Amino acid sequence: MDPTTILQIVDTVMSLGDIVIKCITRLSALKAQFHDAPIIVTSMIGQLHMIKIAQDQLSPLTSPKFNHDPRYRQLAGQIGNALDSFGPILLALSQQLDRYEGVVGSDEMTAKSRMGYLHGEREMTNLSILLDRQVNALNLLLQAIQCQAWSQQSDMMTQEESQSVLRLAQDCSSSLVGLEDVASFISENTAAISTEFEFDHILRGTLLYQAAERSNLRQAIRGKKMTDHDKTSESSPVQKPATFGLKHAFQSMRLCRPITPFGTSGTQRGIRVDIRRDFVVEPSADHVVIEGESAWEDSSYSNSRDMDKINSGTETSRQAEPRNGIDSDTARPHSGLGTWRNPFQRRTSNARETKPYQQEVFFQPRMIRVLLLGASGGGKTTLLNALRLCNEAERVKRDEGDIRTLVWQNALDSARAVLRAMEELDMDSELTTSARRLLLEPCTDCDRDPALNPQHATEVATSISLLRFIEGFQEACNWRNRWGNTYQFHDNSEYYIENISRLAEQAAQRSVATDGDLLRTQVTTTGIHQVSITYQGTQFCVYDVGGERSERKKWIHAFKDVSAVIYPVDTTGYGRSLREDADGDRMREQFMVFESIVNNSCFARSSFIVVFSKMDILPQYLKEEDASAFLRSCGIIPDSGSRITAVYDYISHLENHFRGLVKSIELRERIQFVCANLVDVDKCNPATDIFNTLGSLIPSRRVSTPGKKVSTPTGEKYRLFEKIPASQEIDELSSECSTSSPL
């Protein structure tokens, strides 16, 4: 992990200081101005004060002397992601206050401005809930930093209570799953807070309000019918702004003036009403996503209505969302959200040379746009790295020291997880004590390039190698399969432990890490990274995204004009938990995400390639853990089905299940399934095959007319990465693995 991550987080928290102070001032003014101000305003002021105090306490930590302190790096890993939503929440609050300040012109509110409040009220509640979670996570960070010893800090962070604080902060309205799970947005401390205005029921009872609501409902129903029948007549009611009925209602009630859309000429005695949420959304081809602002809008604070649209595809994504009657400029939030992402973008080491996602790419012609999607740990970044290795020019860009450090840290992390499992299994011996001293106690040399202190690297490597001779070592390795495992095992821990001495030797000679070493590293991706790769004259623009739940809200920014979606699936994910949620089932999560993606209307014309990754380690997994129990529990095989040990059988069941999740019959037929070992690129880089597949799929897609069936090379499954039909080769692989000891 990047040693300065903790400083970035602290910096980010600090950089939001001005906004916190402004929000406090504005909320206080709002409270003073509006006698009936709900309790939520007071509660938010309190939350913001706590954040301010936290900022003051964190300020000394911005000193560079903390750069190499492993304690802070550990904290960064646990809290970094949790605080990802912190900035956007504050900025959205600021934006909401902009609206409110427009609404509250005087103590005496008109019916119209009260309606504005009602519409914004739910958003404020959601913001408060989200803010509450961030405050809790921030408090945890402060407490952890104040611990005297590493062990204290570690104990504190592993407590179930702390983990749940982090989980809640991380899940803030951010994932495909999270958005559907509305219940998870009610936190214990805020559920009791009432945000009901006293006048709400009076307002709701008025003819004016009811007329407006009925009219909106009618508009929505008509709009849906029109979409269902795919009618796009200019004069159809769906073309009218949804506020038409509202406007009419106001006119007929002889209110001061009809409502005009926000940002046009909609001011009345300094009062502005935000009714944008009621517009029927008409996608516009010209609209371009500004990443920062839309990321926030898209998360929508648990607005399950929006999520339904994304999943069901009833509406083109919110990225194309200029509302009728509002020009795209005024439709954008005006609080500078376009810049919030930068301080939060935690770049990953192996995506270091990639550029952050940029909108201009949308306009580059004749570029094959490929999107890597999938749950965390499926192998998206590994596949991207393999693709890059096909291009010789990409190799030159690598910084040897960085790669060596990354590989070394992955190797040490692998050993640490196994060591902890050994301790839990009471396998204490002299060897584990020495390894523990070297690996689990703070040590700056462990965090640096091993070439800087080869003697230390050799000492560490020797102690790790010796662990393999302790009885029960393999049993500790098998802990990776334990459900709800608190130690996240590295997928390639056995490889790294086996090769640790070679890595130390290579470091002593300052040699560069091998491609295999690099591809086996694991760094959680955050954000969206785009890489342009030219292969045999064709330019591919590949997007890699973070697959963890908290990252998925960002995906939608890359959904436009996608030629092909590649969906890597961790075939060893059955019966294993998610990295971000010890109670989440990895394989079921992969099914669920796939179902949401493949049936999304954004990809109706894209090609799909499902890559079954980790075929090299799958045979060993199948031996250790019975896959049939999992398949039975998902209803994929009947209860009476016998144990599955052959890789081919298992893969066939997986393929059938994935195919069954595709609703479109046409897509179901043309979807491609391939098996891949993404980390052994020396003999044959699987990426060359994927380039060829993309080349063969895309032109046929381009020339195809809508509705016309796209011809695809059927019957070629398993051949892309494994050169011979899977049934034969995979079973050969299986028997090979079963005869060789893993270590």
Ligand X SMILES: Nc1nc2c(ncn2[C@@H]2O[C@H](COP(=O)(O)OP(=O)(O)OP(=O)(O)O)[C@@H](O)[C@H]2O)c(=O)[nH]1
Report whether 523 belongs to an annotated binding site: yes
Pick from 322, 333, 546, 573: which binds ligand X (CB under 6 A)? 546
Residue 614 makes contact with ligand X by CB under 6 A:
yes
- To ligand X, the closest distance from the beta carbon of 625 in angstroms equals 16
Which of the choices Mg ion, ligand X, none does residue 492 contact, using the CB cut-off of 5 to 8 A by kind? ligand X
> Tokens in use for 429?
């011996």
Dist CA 17 CA 13 (whole Å):
7
Only segment of 464-472, 525-533, 714-722, 725-733 that touches Mg ion (CB under 5 A): 525-533
- 678 interacts with ligand X by CB under 6 A: yes
Q: Which stretch binds Mg ion (CB under 5 A): 31-39, 424-432, 503-511, 523-531?
A: 523-531
Local structure of 290: helix, strand or coil: coil
Kindly write out the interface string for residues 473-512 of this chain, putting x where it contacts Mg ion by CB under 5 A and - elsewhere: ----------------------------------------
Give the whole-angstrom CA distance, residue 45 versus residue 27: 7
DSSP state of 704: P
Q: Is 148 among the annotated ligand-binding positions? A: no
Alpha-carbon torsion angle 52, 57, 63, 67, nearest 10 = -100
Site for ligand X in 477-536 (CB under 6 A): 491-492, 519-522, 524-525
Q: Which of 73, 167, 369, 380 binds ligand X (CB under 6 A)?
A: 380
Concatenated DSSP letters for 30-98?
Answer: HHHH-TT--HHHHHHHHHHHHHHHHHHHHGGGGSGGGTT-HHHHHHHHHHTTGGGGHHHHHHHHHHHHH
Alpha helices in 289-327 (DSSP H): 291-299, 304-312
Q: What minimum distance in Å lies between the beta carbon of 559 and Mg ion? A: 18
Q: Name the segment binding ligand X (CB under 6 A); options: 12-20, 248-256, 275-283, 613-621.
A: 613-621
Q: Which is nearer to ligand X, 569 or 637 (CB)?
A: 569
Q: How many residues bind ligand X (CB under 6 A)?
A: 28
Could you say which of 95, 162, 677, 685 contacts ligand X (CB under 6 A)?
A: 677
Give the number of other Cβ atoms within 10 Å of residue 679's Cβ.
25
- Asked whether residue 289 is marked as a ligand-binding residue, the answer is no
Is residue 617 a contact residue for ligand X (CB under 6 A)? Answer: yes
Instruction: Find the shortest distance in angstroms from Cβ 675 to ligand X.
Output: 9
Tell me the C-alpha distance between 495 and 411, whole Å. 9
Closest CA relative to residue 731, chosen from 713, 717, 718:
718
Q: Known binder of ligand: residue 114?
A: no
Q: Name the amino acid, one letter, at 722.
A: E
Of 134, 153, 506, 525, which one interacts with Mg ion (CB under 5 A)? Answer: 525
Contact predicate 346/527, CB 8 Å: yes
State yes or no: residue 580 binds ligand X (CB under 6 A).
no
- Half-sphere exposure of residue 96: CA atoms within 13 angstroms, side-chain side: 27
381 lies in the binding site for ligand X (CB under 6 A): yes
C-beta closer to ligand X: residue 85 or 492: 492
Distance CA 740, CA 496 (A): 17
Tell the burial category of 452 from Cβ atoms under 10 Å away from its Cβ (0-12, 13-18, 19+).
middle
> Cβ-count burial of 164 within 10 angstroms (0-12 exposed, 13-18 middle, 19+ buried)?
exposed
Query: What is the token pair recorded at 68?
Result: 């190499």
**Is 4 marked within a binding site?**
no
H or E element at residue 168 = helix 160-170
The CB-of-513 to ligand X minimum distance in angstroms stands at 13
CB of 494 to ligand X, least distance (A): 9
Residue with smaller CB distance to Mg ion, 380 or 553 = 380
Q: Is 190 annotated as a binding residue?
A: no
Sequence-distant contacts of 284-287: CB under 8 A, at least 24 apart: 284/320, 284/322, 284/328, 285/320, 286/328, 287/319, 287/320, 287/321, 287/322, 287/328
Which of 616, 624, 625, 689: binder of ligand X (CB under 6 A)? 616
Q: Is 522 one of the annotated binding-site residues?
A: yes
- Binding-site positions read 381, 519-525
Q: Which residues are annotated as a binding site for Mg(2+)?
A: 381, 525
Residues that bind Mg ion (CB under 5 A): 380-381, 525
Annotated binding-site residue numbers for GTP = 519-525
Residues forming the site for ligand X (CB under 6 A): 374, 376-382, 491-492, 519-522, 524-525, 546-548, 568, 613-614, 616-617, 676-679
